[in-house]
Amino acid sequence: IQEGAALEKKFTEKIDNIERLLASIEPFEKERVQKIRDRIIEQLKTLPVDYDRNRLEQELIYYIEKLDISEEKQRLTNHLKYFRETMKNGHGQGKKLGFIAQEMGREINTTGSKSNQAEMQNIVVQMKDELEQIKEQVLNVM
């Protein structure tokens, strides 16, 4: 029982760290979109051709939507919550915790591939590190 309590404490700590890291992405996420938009518009000013501003706006919206990570953040948050609930349900949950950890990894990876910014990618690497430690511990539960 003591080992189980220590493992639960370790899992909780790692899940808390991932949640904290996920929250720390937000300021970078907001400024990133504006930076990308500004950079594209600046580059366009250097071109010797006229362009359709409405079309540009449509293309920017499309491009920026491709970089949006709000769905990934929401799903990761749900997975973190589900991991906590499953952990509280006690014994025999190792396999399920492994599956949830796998899903968390998918969301973290997608966030990383969409981030396009060094600070966000550094945070994603830290999240992956925390998740790897969870996966290692899950193997002890199975």
pLDDT digits (tens, 9 = 90+) for 70-101: 899 999 999 999 999 998 887 678 889 999 99
Domain regions of the chain by residue span:
2-141
What fold characterizes domain 2-141? Four Helix Bundle (Hemerythrin (Met), subunit A) (1.20.120)
Average of per-residue pLDDT across 16-43: 87
pTM, rounded to two decimals: 0.82
Judged on CB neighbours under 10 Å (0-12, 13-18, 19+), 7 is middle
**pLDDT band at residue 42 under the 50/70/90 scheme:** confident
